Amino acid sequence: MTTGQRIAEKRREHNLSQEALGEALGVSRQSIYKWEADASLPEIDKLVALSRLFEVPVGWLLGVEDIPEAAPGEFTEEQIRVIEEIFARYQHSAPAGELSQEQREQVEALVAEQMAARPKKKRRWPWVLAAAVVLFFAWTALSSWVDQLNNRFNSLSSSINEVSHDVNQQIGSISGRVEDILKAQNSLAAEYVAQCLSLDVEGNTALFSASITPKTYAEGLEVVFQADCGDGSVTQVPGTDDGNHRFSAQITCPLTNSITLSAVLVDGGIRQTQLLDTFSDLYSSTFPEVDLDYVTRLWGERRAEDGLFHLGGAGDFQIGIAVKQRIVYSGEDPVLQDGLDVQVGLFRNRELVAWMEETKKNELYDLPAVQFAAEDGDSVCFAARITDRYDRQWMSIGVPACEVQDGELELVGGDYSASELYDPANWTF
């Protein structure tokens, strides 16, 4: 369980919303969201405040210790309050939690005076007071000792983490060197190069150049370069020998997000394949970035008495879009995407609730008055469907999304890298 999950668990156990917890700690609701989504860690003073509020050790919040069971002789909060009240009358000049030498002498004198005045009558309160004095200072000393142990533990834990980090780095470095050595030993090439020359957005193709100098050359050796586009299509082009046993070729293949270039060395009836390079996200790189602003406006919306969420209308919900044009990687002729058709909508579980209406001011979109049902666990977000001038479509998602929790829309973290999220085929309109 992560630190964020622990904070969220304790917040729910204490029946606190993210906003209420933020107010208790003096931070924004967005800070609470980031903590629970493990996007950031609370500062030390906030961790201490969370520890006190949830009555758990700081170490438990960080996941380095379990919640300890209360010791049999441990003071309760009420007992500590009573002891503090007893000492309050004697502590006007001394620091909190500590009696001066003069005050201790006054206590001892008062106890002796009461015992001498009534020797035959047993009075319990002086003994109780004296015992309380002893217990209080014992408790103070114990707290100081525990703090010292905690400091030592934290220092030791930090040292262990540093050693572990150094060891992991060394292991990673060694593994990398071993992998490089094995690759060099098993490589079929003395030298090879592969690079993307250009992308044809309109034709949806990519142009590559590739070359290889085989480590071992035999008369009659042939080289075939191939591009595997990850969609089942494979393009093959024979290589040309420059006379120095260096084979090269240019390959044009379908433009996808996963293209692998290889060289197949054919010697008689023996075929051996040398991986040259893998190119990722080339197709996605041809789309302009379309960002949605003001998506956090959904925070805190609650289900109405009729069991539905009522949103929009009267300009209550406006979303702005910012289009960042990309220069497509196309050699000497960069291509700027323009002529985009953008539709912005409100979605529940990737299903359209309502399209928003485009205004004439600063590319803003208004949400009309809508009502819809959503159960706990349902996701609710703003998203845009974009169509470019080549009739290609993709989705842009307003991050972060919201999730219904206890009848309220709460911001949630998530993995927004999955390619399926950006394919309109996986959404319902």
Same domain, 302 and 376: yes
Q: What per-residue confidence (pLDDT) applies to 319?
A: 81
Q: Which of 35, 62, 89 is the last residue of a domain?
A: 62
Q: Which two tokens stand for residue 269?
A: 């009836």
| Position 181 pLDDT exceeds 80 | no
Mean pLDDT, residues 169-178: 60
Q: Is residue 308 part of a domain?
A: yes
Domain boundary among 224, 258, 280: 280
Look at residue 83 and tell me if it is in a domain: no
- Residue 60: pLDDT band (50, 70, 90) is confident
Residues 223 and 273 in one domain: yes
The answer on pLDDT for 207 being more than 60 is yes
Candidate ranges 70-84, 323-337, 353-367, 369-383; pick with highest mean pLDDT: 369-383
Q: What pLDDT, on a 0 to 100 scale, did the predictor assign at position 75?
A: 46
Residues 220 and 247 placed together within one structural domain of the fold: yes
pLDDT band of 57, cuts 50, 70, 90: confident
pLDDT of residue 238: 96
Is-contact 223 238, C-beta < 8 A?
A: yes
Structural domain includes residue 243: yes
Could you read off the pLDDT of 216-269 as tens digits, one per residue? Answer: 888 889 999 999 998 888 999 999 999 899 999 999 999 998 999 999 999 888
Which range has the top average pLDDT, 208-217, 322-331, 399-408? 208-217
330 domain residue, yes or no: yes
Residue 254 to residues 106, 188, 274, 287: CA-CA distances in angstroms? 93, 27, 21, 16
In a shared domain, residues 328 and 360: yes
Handedness of CA 135, 137, 139, 145 (dihedral sign): negative
Please give the average per-residue pLDDT across 190-211, as a whole number.
Answer: 91
Final residue before a domain boundary, out of 219, 251, 280:
280
pLDDT tens-digit series, residues 73-128: 444 555 455 555 555 544 444 444 444 555 555 545 554 555 555 444 445 545 55
Q: What is the CATH number of the domain that holds 230?
A: 2.60.40.10
| Tens-digit pLDDT profile for residues 4-45 | 888 988 988 998 888 889 888 988 887 888 888 777 788 878
226 & 350 share domain: no
* Domain extent at residue 242: 189-280
- Distance between CA 307 and CA 65 in Å, rounded? 42
Mean pLDDT along residues 323-351 = 68
Amino acid sitting at position 116: A
Asked if residue 157 is part of any domain, the answer here is: no
| CATH classification at residue 53 | 1.10.260.40
Query: Do 216 and 299 lie in a common domain?
Result: no
Task: Indicate if 306 and 413 belong to the same structural domain.
Answer: yes
